Amino acid sequence: MNPTTKHVAIYKMQGCGNDFVFIDNREYNVPVSHMSEWAQKICRRAFGVGADGLVFLEESDDTTLDYRWHFYNADGSRAEMCGNASRCAAKLAVQIGLAAPVHTFGTDAGPIRAEFCDDGEIKVELTPPQGLELQKPITLKDGDDEIHFVNTGVPHAVYVAENASALNVKELGALIRYHDMFSPAGTNANFMSVIDRENVHLRTYERGVEDETFACGTGAVAGVVVAHALGLTGTNVRVKSSGGEILSISIEGDSVFLKGKALVIYSGNAMLESLGLTLD
């Protein structure tokens, strides 16, 4: 780490509308103690670069991993996992010579296996879903209702609706995200309409972003896990996100796979002084 450094190289990426800033931390060695502040300032839209999250990639001490990441939400909170960011990480890691097209990297949720597909999309195998609970009674603004829950690396509540497009996701999402049922950590909140056994529409209010995002990979997986458990879908499902992009989810026994586009939008330099950041 060089405290005289005035800028850092960044990569702006998006996975189905979920956007992230990546930093190759092999070069800068930004300490973990600084990362939350960096995320808050870099991810702040209009005043920073603007993103749903900030990701640091670096070498791992674990010889079974090709590298590891540190993932932070836009509000500076550290997250165990992010599905769409994992696909972006895999794409960038190959581009910058950190890993081969098929590789495994470390997250706080556990190791993630990634591979490049023939159609140019990135496929990741997430950690096995945990803690599935169906038809949990919950009181929302219109009275008694029911919700489903599963942890797909991070916690996700899933609300099944006839028409997810008609819902006020920011309002309902905040109610569920901060509901006593999920305290103190809170949860991500997903709103899903089942179109048929192979297609669903899903909208997500993301914890840490505190708003609806254009897509959420772990949320898409959570929605399909719940839909399949309820007998509403099969094991291979296309999830249409708020941004109109498609994520493909496959359930194979205890394993769950997430596949979709991951794109580098631009690379450049973030000026540390302008952002109120330093490397010392």
- Positions at the binding site for substrate: 18, 73, 83-84, 188, 206-207, 217-218
117 is catalytic: no
Torsion of CA 180, 181, 185, 188, to 10 degrees: -110
CA dist 48 → 11, 12, 55 (Å): 14, 12, 15
CB-CB contact of 95 with 103 (8 Å): no
Q: Rounded CA gap, 210 and 54, in Å? A: 15
Residue at token pair 């190959």: 94
Q: Rounded CA gap, 53 and 207, in Å? A: 11
Residue 69: name the closest of 29, 109, 107 by CA. 107
Structure tokens at 259: 């596949």
Structure tokens at 262: 């991951």
Cis status, amide bond into 111, omega within 30 of 0 = no
Q: Which of 16, 43, 88, 216 is catalytic?
A: 216
Sequence ranges of the binding site: 18, 73, 83-84, 188, 206-207, 217-218
Q: Which of 16, 43, 82, 88 is catalytic?
A: 82
Query: How buried is 181 (Cβ within 10 angstroms: 0-12 exposed, 13-18 middle, 19+ buried)?
Result: middle
43 is catalytic: no
Q: Rounded CA gap, 266 and 81, in Å? A: 23
3-state secondary structure of 81: coil
> Within 10 Å of residue 127's Cβ, how many Cβ atoms?
19
Q: Rounded CA gap, 153 and 280, in Å? A: 32
Q: Which residues are catalytic?
A: 82, 216
